Amino acid sequence: MSLMGTTTLRHPHHHLLARLSVPIPLSLRIPGNMMNQYKRKEIRNGRALIQCCSDSATASTSSPSSPAPENAPPVIRRRKRYRRQYPGESKGITEEMRFVAMRLRNANNQDPSSEDDKEEEGNDDVGGVMWQPIMDGFLKYLVDSKLVFNTVERIVDESNHVAYAYFRKTGLERSEGLGKDLEWLSQQGFVIPKPGSPGVSYAKYLEELAEKSAPLFLCHFYNIYFAHVAGGQVIARQASEKLLEGRELEFYRWEGDVPELMKDVREKLNMLGEHWIRDEKNKCLKETTKSFRFLGQIVRLIIL
Q: Report yes or no: 238 and 303 within 8 Å, Cβ to Cβ.
A: no
Q: Is the pTM of this model over 0.85?
A: no
Nearest partner of 291 among 211, 197, 213, 216, judged by Cα: 216
Given this model, what pLDDT does residue 101 score?
Answer: 85
**Chain segment 190-226, per-residue pLDDT in tens:** 999 999 999 999 999 999 999 999 999 999 999 999 9
Q: Report yes or no: 111 and 117 within 8 Å, Cβ to Cβ.
A: yes
Structure-model confidence comparison of residues 27 and 108, the more confident one: 108
**Chain segment 62-98, per-residue pLDDT in tens:** 445 555 556 777 777 776 666 677 676 778 899 999 8
Contacts (Cβ under 8 Å, ≥6 apart) of 211: none
Which of 13-22, 42-51, 230-239 reaches the highest mean pLDDT?
230-239
pLDDT at 297 > cutoff 70: yes
Give ∠ CA 206-173-238 in degrees, rounded to 5.
Answer: 95
**Chain segment 119-167, per-residue pLDDT in tens:** 333 344 444 456 688 999 999 999 999 999 999 999 999 999 999 999 9
Nearest partner of 210 among 270, 158, 278, judged by Cα: 158
